[in-house]
Structure 1
Amino acid sequence: MSSAPNPILRDLNAGQRAAVTAPDGPVLILAGAGSGKTRALTHRIAYLISRGAAAHRILAVTFTNKAAREVEERVTKLLGLRPGHKGLPHPASGAGGGMRPFIGTFHRLANHILQAHANLVGYRRPYTIYDADDQLGVVKNVIKAEGLDPKQFAPAAVLAAISRAKQELTSYPEYEAAANGLWPETVARIWKGYAAALRQANSVDFDDLIGFAVHILTEHPEVLSRFQERFTHILVDEYQDTNHAQYVLIHKLAAGHRRLFAIGDDAQSIYSFRGADFRNILNFERD
């Protein structure tokens, strides 16, 4: 006698069902806008839990807090949790056991790693995360202190150059050593003052969160091993929008078990202006 169909698969089309039930291992789903990619991701999470995966060992990464909330709400509904339930499965729920999946942005994930190991990169808790306005204010102060012309070296443009370098995991010493010409040499000069100001304030910016997380996982194998054991299923929404630093972070965490499920649009990259690297789609199978 055949088993009853999993109700989580009931409203999916054939393509979505194939994606949701794909075997463990690296899975990259490419489809166009409006094809239900995020729907496949949310059903995949619920499907894994319904099949016995420990909920707290599932990591789902999105690009916005809004998207993360929507994913969690949809998964909660798919699992049939009662209205008003505070979230995804806890030990008493019987659905996959354990605690809730970690569903959040790249920055929330990186902050989670840094919070646990801030001392490994010379920070103390609690540290402050500077937003865009804070960062711009620091750059303006450095430009003024260095006696530079903010019309020639626009603070926003300087900050964007520093951000791009960090998203490529280029360190300040590497950037300074490669700087050749008035603009990159001046950016390096400002970056030095910017970094010193953040250190003095025990503060980081959003790019630092991911850069420091990657550094910790790279330089401290025992920490990497613990996070690889913690997150045994990793899902990424809008994979085409990942930049190099985000790509490295995810692939380090998935390297031990290779249970990486990524949803992407091969014809779209809405975050291209923020350093998204389309090569991440092309390199998925190789890596």
Structure 2
Amino acid sequence: MTTEIPDGNASLEDRILGGLDAEQREVATTLTGPLCVLAGAGTGKTRAITHRIAYGVHSGVYSPQRLLAVTFTARAAAEMRSRLRDLGVGNVQARTFHAAALRQLQFFWPQAVGGALPNLLDHKAQMIAEAARRLRLTTDRASIRDLASEIEWAKVSMLTPANYLENAQDRGAPGGFDLTAVARVFQAYEDVKTDRNVIDFEDVLLITVGILQEDPKVAATVREQYRHFVVDEYQDVSPLQQRLLELWLGGRNELCVVGDASQTIYSFTGASPKHLLGFKAQYPDANVVKLVRDYRSTPQVVKLANDLLASRRSGGPAADAAWAAPLKLVAQRTPGPQPQFTECTDDEAEAATVAGKIRALLDDGVPASEIAVLFRTNGQSEAYEQALASAGIGYQLRGGERFFARKEVRDAILQLRAATRAVSESEPQPLGQLVRDIVASLGYTDTAPHSGGALRERWESLAALVALADELAQNRGPQFGLADFVNELQERSVAQHAPTVQGVTLASLHAAKGLEWDAVFLVGMSEGLMPISFADTPAAVDEERRLLYVGITRAREHLSLSWSTARTPGGRANRKPSRFLDGLRPDSVATSAARGRGAAPRRKAAAPASCRVCGSMLASGAERKVGRCSQCPPSYEEQTFNALREWRKDVAQSADVPAFVVFTDATLTAIAEARPSSLEELAKLAGVGPSKLERYGEAVLAVLTESSTF
């Protein structure tokens, strides 16, 4: 659904509310008091809330400077600002939580704290590495990344180094370290920041919360400035963000929240849907509106999405209590093709099959920019990059080089900015043609070059700028000139709100949230990847189900799901399709809870309870896993253990997962000491489950064989 340009000759209701369905119109006309919008995927939630803001401003209920709209990514905030400008209310503030808090912190720091605001730390890695060195801990790139993620989780959960340990007992072994070591790194990291006089992004929220709690004058000023609040993606708020929102409100109830619990996929970062689900309990007089009309996807895609959520089985009392009853989407589009389910012999064959299907779509006229290949881990992208390149199909890797960082884009913006003065003194020209003329010197032509590689990539970038100029000129009207376009590009550059590039998108399922395409290929839909192997609790499996739901609902018309039975050509065909597809794909049936529809996985027999060397009782899970107490020396060869660690580091970096997710140090120790010579022997070791045996078994045996020749 597109945003229309307000018609100045029509009535206010027709200009702002025309084209909204009954539920969207209810959202747009409920301007005061608490409002909770439960909005399913593709139901036009952004349309509903931006039209609500526009209607409130144009009708005089809202002062645009006193309304704050908050969302979770800079790109989403930029998209919201763009839509609001199209509706004639471009002076409304739409920001991320961090951007809004940072703006307030910069303003109030001198009077609340005094002096200059510390520098903002862009990346934690260097500081965490220094913190670990102070503690004489050995780290690598993967473990530092894991520690950074854990510290971020702790801070948005409003934990400190002092109370982290007692509140993180179910967090596993971040970075391969026990929780006591993590707490020490956490404290050392805070000390390093203090020494360097820097703050991180979580500190921005924490310090703002602290100032609002401790300084009544600052709190009163903020509450006077902002009278109405809108929060998008409310299912993703962390405890820290919720606390900041409560302080902004100061006991008032002029709050509109929008979200969908079935799209909660960031629990590992501290996000929780409990505030969305408990909104009515917190505000008993709140209006609750459900948006279930799906305008994005065909009935076939919508049915698969609904069936996926409906097929979830009980995972036990705790998991069931956390699982929200899903919204049942109602498709509004005309019927389309049935989703395709494809089994391939190996990963290479799967990538080639997907590339062939993409070529057929391109030949049928589907633009490359409207096709996406989505996978569970970033490490899966390489096979599809190679397959698409071999097929002569252009692609863009979401999460690769940012659009506005490309040289040709930076050069184009410089030329456009330089041309603004000359244009202002000449006869006016249509914006689109003007931009075409200016970027022609950089290699843009009206037709794409036949060659691929760097030349084609540069042309695609410039073509995206031209297409954006055409789009904005149409949406903003003839008064939108070159200077306005350059300002728009500058804002989009800051927000990383890139225009559409003509190439197939390769992205992880997490990175695809908030996006949509005409055709979506969900690849690697096998056990161990979907759900991921380390989703070993009912709640974690439920989150994987929601992640697949997000992937399915990205597709407008064409949807393909595929998996392979072996990892490599000629390898053992022991992979199985994802349990989530049971009962959904043709000729399959729903399996029992024993296969893991949210149920707890079957446990292996208990590991040894006494040390195999000295016979003493084993006190910890790590000791039981290796079958040896910490006082007895290890029996492995050092080069074998180091070879296993190097292999694990490479696998973790390739799959973009924490190192301990592949195998913990205790499991590596057990493998090095036992030196299994077959998959059957490897399977007997604690910490080597069926999915890990399938994914890593042959590789582990190869490492052991090679290390024996040192």
**Above 0.5 in TM-score?**
yes
User: What's the secondary structure of 1:144's corresponding residue?
Assistant: helix
- The one-letter amino acid of 2:132's match is I
C-alpha deviation, 1:272, in angstroms? 2.7
Partner of 2:164: 175
In the other structure, the counterpart of 1:76 is 85
Partner amino acid for 2:99? R
Kept after mapping to 1: 8 A contact 2:77/2:94: yes
Q: Distance in 2 between matches of 1:200 and 1:284?
A: 41
Contact (CA 8 Å) 2:153, 2:268: kept in 1 or not? no
Measured in 2, the distance between the counterparts of 1:257 and 1:50 equals 23
**CA spacing shift, 1:118–1:263, aligned 2, 3 Å:** same
The residue that corresponds to 2:23 in the other structure is 15
Q: TM-score, normalised by structure 2?
A: 0.35
In the other structure, the counterpart of 2:250 is 255
Equivalent position SS for 2:280: coil
Query: 1 or 2 for the larger relative contact order (CA 8 Å, sep ≥6)?
Result: 1
Contact (CA 8 Å) 1:121, 1:212: kept in 2 or not? no
* 2:119 aligned residue: 128
Q: Partner of 2:137: helix, strand, or coil?
A: coil
TM-score (normalizing by structure 1) = 0.84
Find 1:228's aligned residue among 216, 223, 239. 223
Change (3 A) 1:122 1:225: closer
User: What does residue 93 of structure 1 align with?
Assistant: none
What does 1:1-287 correspond to in 2, within 5 Å?
A: 4-6=11-13, 7-52=15-60, 53-79=62-88, 88=90, 100-118=91-109, 124-131=115-122, 134-150=123-139, 154-175=143-164, 183-287=178-282
Shift of 1:285: 2.2
Match of 2:534 in 1: none
Q: Give the partner amino acid of 1:69.
A: A
After superposing the two structures, state which structure 1 stretch, 217-226 or 118-127, moved more.
118-127
Q: How many angstroms apart in 2 are the aligned matches of 1:26 and 1:75?
A: 21
- Which residue does 1:94 correspond to in 2? none
**CA–CA distance in 2 between the matches of 1:178 and 1:264?**
27
State the 1:191 CA deviation: 1.6
The residue identity in structure 2 corresponding to 1:219 is E
CA drift at 1:5: 5.0
More divergent stretch after superposition (65-74 vs 25-34): 65-74
Structure 1 SS opposite 2:69: strand
Give the RMSD, CA atoms, in angstroms: 2.5
- Which ranges of structure 2 fall in alignment gaps of 5 or more residues? 1-9, 283-710
Residue matched to 1:95? none
Cα distance in 1 between the residues matched to 2:95 and 2:167: 35
One-letter amino acid of the structure 2 residue matched with residue 54 of structure 1: S
How many residue pairs were aligned?
A: 265
Residue identity (%): 33
Q: Which amino acid aligns with 2:121?
A: Y
Q: 3-state DSSP class of the match of 1:262?
A: strand
Give me the whole-angstrom Cα distance separating, in 1, the residues matched to 2:54 and 2:196: 42
Counterpart of 1:110 in structure 2: which amino acid?
A
- Which deviations, in whole Å up to 9, do the C-alpha atoms of 1:49-83 show, x marking residues without a partner? 1111211001001111111111111111112x7xx
Q: How far off is 1:38 after superposition? A: 0.9
Residues 158-214 of structure 1: CA distance to partner in whole angstroms, max 9, x if unpaired? Answer: 222211111111233333676889722212211222112212222111111111111
Say which one has the larger Rg. 2
Distance 2:150 2:130 in 1: 17
Once residues 125 and 83 of structure 2 are traced to their aligned partners in structure 1, the CA distance between those partners, rounded to angstroms, is 37
